[in-house]
Structure 1
Protein backbone atom coordinates (compact mmCIF):
# COMPACT_ATOMS: atom_id res chain seq x y z
CA UNK A 1 0.00 0.00 0.00
CA UNK A 2 1.50 3.38 -0.93
CA UNK A 3 1.60 6.52 1.20
CA UNK A 4 -1.48 8.07 -0.38
CA UNK A 5 -3.51 4.95 0.30
CA UNK A 6 -2.26 4.97 3.89
CA UNK A 7 -3.38 8.52 4.35
CA UNK A 8 -6.80 7.87 2.79
CA UNK A 9 -7.45 5.55 5.72
CA UNK A 10 -6.97 8.49 8.10
CA UNK A 11 -9.98 10.62 8.87
CA UNK A 12 -9.05 14.31 8.65
CA UNK A 13 -10.62 17.53 7.52
CA UNK A 14 -7.86 18.31 5.02
CA UNK A 15 -8.62 17.36 1.43
CA UNK A 16 -5.94 15.10 0.04
CA UNK A 17 -7.22 15.51 -3.48
CA UNK A 18 -5.94 19.11 -3.48
CA UNK A 19 -2.65 18.33 -1.76
CA UNK A 20 0.69 18.33 -3.53
CA UNK A 21 3.21 15.56 -2.72
CA UNK A 22 4.94 17.69 -0.07
CA UNK A 23 1.63 18.41 1.64
CA UNK A 24 0.72 14.71 1.56
CA UNK A 25 3.85 13.92 3.56
CA UNK A 26 2.91 16.64 6.06
CA UNK A 27 -0.54 15.08 6.38
CA UNK A 28 1.00 11.67 6.99
CA UNK A 29 3.15 13.08 9.79
CA UNK A 30 0.11 14.78 11.32
CA UNK A 31 -1.93 11.59 11.05
CA UNK A 32 0.76 9.51 12.70
CA UNK A 33 1.10 11.97 15.58
CA UNK A 34 -2.66 12.09 16.09
CA UNK A 35 -2.83 8.31 16.13
CA UNK A 36 -0.01 8.07 18.66
CA UNK A 37 -2.01 10.32 21.00
CA UNK A 38 -5.05 8.12 20.44
CA UNK A 39 -3.00 5.01 21.20
CA UNK A 40 -1.78 6.53 24.46
CA UNK A 41 -5.35 7.31 25.46
CA UNK A 42 -6.44 3.74 24.65
CA UNK A 43 -3.45 2.43 26.59
CA UNK A 44 -4.41 4.50 29.65
CA UNK A 45 -8.01 3.26 29.36
CA UNK A 46 -6.76 -0.35 29.24
CA UNK A 47 -8.52 -0.79 25.90
CA UNK A 48 -5.90 -3.16 24.53
CA UNK A 49 -7.74 -4.11 21.36
CA UNK A 50 -8.31 -0.50 20.27
CA UNK A 51 -4.76 0.45 21.30
CA UNK A 52 -3.35 -2.30 19.14
CA UNK A 53 -5.49 -1.31 16.17
CA UNK A 54 -4.41 2.33 16.42
CA UNK A 55 -0.74 1.43 16.77
CA UNK A 56 -1.00 -0.76 13.68
CA UNK A 57 -2.38 2.28 11.83
CA UNK A 58 0.64 4.32 12.95
CA UNK A 59 2.95 1.55 11.75
CA UNK A 60 1.13 1.59 8.41
CA UNK A 61 1.62 5.36 8.15
CA UNK A 62 5.33 5.06 8.92
CA UNK A 63 5.55 2.33 6.28
CA UNK A 64 3.84 4.73 3.88
CA UNK A 65 6.43 7.39 4.67
CA UNK A 66 9.17 4.85 3.97
CA UNK A 67 7.58 4.06 0.61
CA UNK A 68 7.97 7.70 -0.45
CA UNK A 69 11.74 7.65 0.06
CA UNK A 70 13.75 7.96 -3.14
CA UNK A 71 17.08 6.40 -2.23
CA UNK A 72 18.66 7.28 -5.58
CA UNK A 73 17.95 11.00 -5.37
CA UNK A 74 17.88 11.18 -1.58
CA UNK A 75 21.20 9.43 -1.09
CA UNK A 76 22.48 9.21 2.45
CA UNK A 77 19.57 11.22 3.88
CA UNK A 78 17.04 8.79 2.43
CA UNK A 79 19.06 5.85 3.76
CA UNK A 80 19.14 7.38 7.23
CA UNK A 81 15.43 8.12 7.16
CA UNK A 82 14.74 4.56 6.06
CA UNK A 83 16.71 3.25 9.05
CA UNK A 84 14.93 5.68 11.37
CA UNK A 85 11.51 4.66 10.06
CA UNK A 86 12.49 1.01 10.55
CA UNK A 87 13.46 1.82 14.13
CA UNK A 88 10.14 3.60 14.67
CA UNK A 89 8.18 0.61 13.38
CA UNK A 90 10.02 -1.75 15.74
CA UNK A 91 9.58 0.68 18.66
CA UNK A 92 5.86 0.95 17.97
CA UNK A 93 5.57 -2.85 18.06
CA UNK A 94 7.40 -2.85 21.40
CA UNK A 95 5.06 -0.16 22.72
CA UNK A 96 2.10 -2.30 21.74
CA UNK A 97 3.44 -5.57 23.13
CA UNK A 98 4.72 -4.10 26.40
CA UNK A 99 2.01 -1.44 26.86
CA UNK A 100 4.76 1.15 27.11
CA UNK A 101 3.67 4.78 26.62
CA UNK A 102 7.29 5.96 26.79
CA UNK A 103 7.94 4.11 23.50
CA UNK A 104 5.02 5.99 21.94
CA UNK A 105 6.48 9.26 23.23
CA UNK A 106 9.87 8.36 21.76
CA UNK A 107 8.39 7.77 18.31
CA UNK A 108 6.26 10.91 18.56
CA UNK A 109 9.36 12.98 19.38
CA UNK A 110 11.24 11.52 16.41
CA UNK A 111 8.31 12.17 14.08
CA UNK A 112 7.97 15.76 15.34
CA UNK A 113 11.66 16.41 14.70
CA UNK A 114 11.44 15.09 11.13
CA UNK A 115 8.17 16.94 10.57
CA UNK A 116 9.74 20.23 11.70
CA UNK A 117 12.43 19.85 9.06
CA UNK A 118 9.87 18.87 6.43
CA UNK A 119 7.65 21.83 7.34
CA UNK A 120 10.68 24.10 7.20
CA UNK A 121 11.30 23.39 3.53
CA UNK A 122 7.67 23.94 2.49
CA UNK A 123 8.21 27.39 1.00
CA UNK A 124 11.23 26.21 -0.99
CA UNK A 125 9.27 23.25 -2.38
CA UNK A 126 6.30 25.41 -3.35
CA UNK A 127 8.61 27.89 -5.10
CA UNK A 128 10.27 25.05 -7.04
CA UNK A 129 6.89 23.66 -8.10
CA UNK A 130 5.76 27.07 -9.33
CA UNK A 131 8.96 27.53 -11.32
CA UNK A 132 8.35 24.32 -13.26
Structure 2
Protein backbone atom coordinates (compact mmCIF):
# COMPACT_ATOMS: atom_id res chain seq x y z
CA UNK A 1 0.00 0.00 0.00
CA UNK A 2 2.82 2.43 0.89
CA UNK A 3 6.07 2.59 -0.99
CA UNK A 4 9.00 1.57 1.13
CA UNK A 5 11.83 3.93 1.98
CA UNK A 6 15.02 3.38 3.93
CA UNK A 7 15.11 0.27 6.13
CA UNK A 8 11.76 -0.90 4.76
CA UNK A 9 9.79 1.86 6.45
CA UNK A 10 7.02 3.61 4.55
CA UNK A 11 8.26 6.75 2.83
CA UNK A 12 5.59 8.70 4.66
CA UNK A 13 7.26 7.93 7.99
CA UNK A 14 10.27 10.08 7.07
CA UNK A 15 7.99 12.89 5.95
CA UNK A 16 6.00 12.64 9.16
CA UNK A 17 9.20 12.79 11.24
CA UNK A 18 10.43 15.79 9.25
CA UNK A 19 7.12 17.63 9.80
CA UNK A 20 7.35 16.85 13.53
CA UNK A 21 10.88 18.25 13.70
CA UNK A 22 9.90 21.34 11.70
CA UNK A 23 6.96 21.94 14.06
CA UNK A 24 9.26 21.53 17.05
CA UNK A 25 11.74 24.04 15.59
CA UNK A 26 9.07 26.59 14.71
CA UNK A 27 7.55 26.51 18.20
CA UNK A 28 10.83 26.20 20.14
CA UNK A 29 12.33 28.75 22.48
CA UNK A 30 15.87 29.94 21.70
CA UNK A 31 17.12 27.62 24.46
CA UNK A 32 15.29 24.64 22.96
CA UNK A 33 16.73 25.44 19.52
CA UNK A 34 20.25 25.04 20.91
CA UNK A 35 19.21 21.70 22.47
CA UNK A 36 17.96 20.61 19.04
CA UNK A 37 21.29 21.62 17.47
CA UNK A 38 23.17 19.52 20.02
CA UNK A 39 20.85 16.58 19.30
CA UNK A 40 21.34 16.97 15.57
CA UNK A 41 25.12 17.05 15.90
CA UNK A 42 25.07 13.96 18.12
CA UNK A 43 22.90 12.09 15.61
CA UNK A 44 25.14 13.11 12.70
CA UNK A 45 28.30 12.01 14.53
CA UNK A 46 26.67 8.72 15.52
CA UNK A 47 25.74 8.16 11.87
CA UNK A 48 29.29 9.00 10.81
CA UNK A 49 30.67 6.44 13.27
CA UNK A 50 28.44 3.72 11.84
CA UNK A 51 29.50 4.54 8.28
CA UNK A 52 33.17 4.78 9.28
CA UNK A 53 33.03 1.32 10.84
CA UNK A 54 31.23 -0.05 7.77
CA UNK A 55 33.77 1.50 5.40
CA UNK A 56 31.15 3.67 3.68
CA UNK A 57 33.36 6.68 2.98
CA UNK A 58 30.76 8.70 1.07
CA UNK A 59 28.07 8.50 3.74
CA UNK A 60 30.64 9.01 6.52
CA UNK A 61 31.72 12.23 4.83
CA UNK A 62 28.12 13.34 4.36
CA UNK A 63 27.32 12.78 8.05
CA UNK A 64 30.48 14.56 9.21
CA UNK A 65 29.65 17.48 6.91
CA UNK A 66 26.23 17.72 8.53
CA UNK A 67 27.81 17.72 12.02
CA UNK A 68 30.29 20.41 10.90
CA UNK A 69 27.45 22.51 9.53
CA UNK A 70 25.60 22.29 12.84
CA UNK A 71 28.71 23.20 14.85
CA UNK A 72 29.84 26.06 12.59
CA UNK A 73 26.57 27.51 11.29
CA UNK A 74 24.40 26.66 14.27
CA UNK A 75 26.19 26.49 17.59
CA UNK A 76 29.15 28.75 16.82
CA UNK A 77 27.03 31.26 14.92
CA UNK A 78 24.54 31.45 17.82
CA UNK A 79 27.15 32.70 20.29
CA UNK A 80 26.57 36.27 21.43
CA UNK A 81 30.16 37.43 21.75
CA UNK A 82 29.16 40.93 22.85
CA UNK A 83 27.01 39.88 25.80
CA UNK A 84 28.74 36.55 26.39
CA UNK A 85 32.19 38.03 26.92
CA UNK A 86 34.96 35.67 27.94
CA UNK A 87 32.64 32.66 28.20
CA UNK A 88 31.44 33.13 24.63
CA UNK A 89 35.05 33.43 23.45
CA UNK A 90 36.00 30.20 25.22
CA UNK A 91 32.93 28.45 23.80
CA UNK A 92 33.91 29.69 20.34
CA UNK A 93 37.38 28.24 20.78
CA UNK A 94 35.89 24.93 21.90
CA UNK A 95 33.57 24.82 18.87
CA UNK A 96 36.58 25.55 16.62
CA UNK A 97 38.44 22.64 18.25
CA UNK A 98 35.44 20.35 17.75
CA UNK A 99 35.26 21.38 14.08
CA UNK A 100 38.96 20.53 13.69
CA UNK A 101 38.33 17.11 15.29
CA UNK A 102 35.54 16.47 12.81
CA UNK A 103 37.74 17.46 9.88
CA UNK A 104 40.52 15.22 11.16
CA UNK A 105 38.08 12.35 11.57
CA UNK A 106 36.91 12.80 8.00
CA UNK A 107 40.34 13.11 6.43
CA UNK A 108 42.00 10.29 8.41
CA UNK A 109 39.04 8.01 9.19
CA UNK A 110 39.86 8.70 12.84
CA UNK A 111 37.25 7.09 15.07
CA UNK A 112 38.87 8.52 18.21
CA UNK A 113 38.49 12.07 16.89
CA UNK A 114 34.80 11.45 16.20
CA UNK A 115 34.32 10.01 19.67
CA UNK A 116 36.07 12.98 21.29
CA UNK A 117 33.96 15.48 19.33
CA UNK A 118 30.82 13.61 20.34
CA UNK A 119 31.87 13.51 24.00
CA UNK A 120 32.66 17.23 24.12
CA UNK A 121 29.37 18.15 22.46
CA UNK A 122 27.55 15.79 24.84
CA UNK A 123 29.14 17.50 27.85
CA UNK A 124 28.15 20.92 26.51
CA UNK A 125 24.62 19.72 25.76
CA UNK A 126 24.24 18.35 29.27
CA UNK A 127 25.39 21.63 30.79
CA UNK A 128 23.10 23.59 28.47
CA UNK A 129 20.07 21.53 29.50
CA UNK A 130 20.90 22.26 33.16
CA UNK A 131 20.56 26.02 32.65
CA UNK A 132 17.13 25.94 31.01
CA UNK A 133 15.68 29.42 31.63
CA UNK A 134 12.17 28.01 31.23
CA UNK A 135 12.44 26.00 34.43
CA UNK A 136 12.07 27.64 37.80
CA UNK A 137 15.24 27.80 39.84
CA UNK A 138 14.91 26.65 43.44
Distance 2:82 2:65 in 1: 29
Q: Does 1:45 align with 2:54?
A: yes
Aligned to 1:18: 27
1:36 is the counterpart of 2:25: no
1:127, distance to aligned residue in structure 2 (A)? 5.3
RMSD: 1.5
Q: How big is the shift at 1:126?
A: 1.4
Structure 2 segments unaligned to the other structure (5+ residues): 1-17
For 1:48-67, what aligned pairs fall within 5 Å after superposition? 48-63=57-72, 64-67=74-77
SS at match of 2:25: coil
Provide the TM-score with structure 1 as the length reference. 0.84
**TM-score, normalising length: structure 2:** 0.80
Larger Rg: 2
Structure 1: 5+ residue runs without aligned partners? 1-10
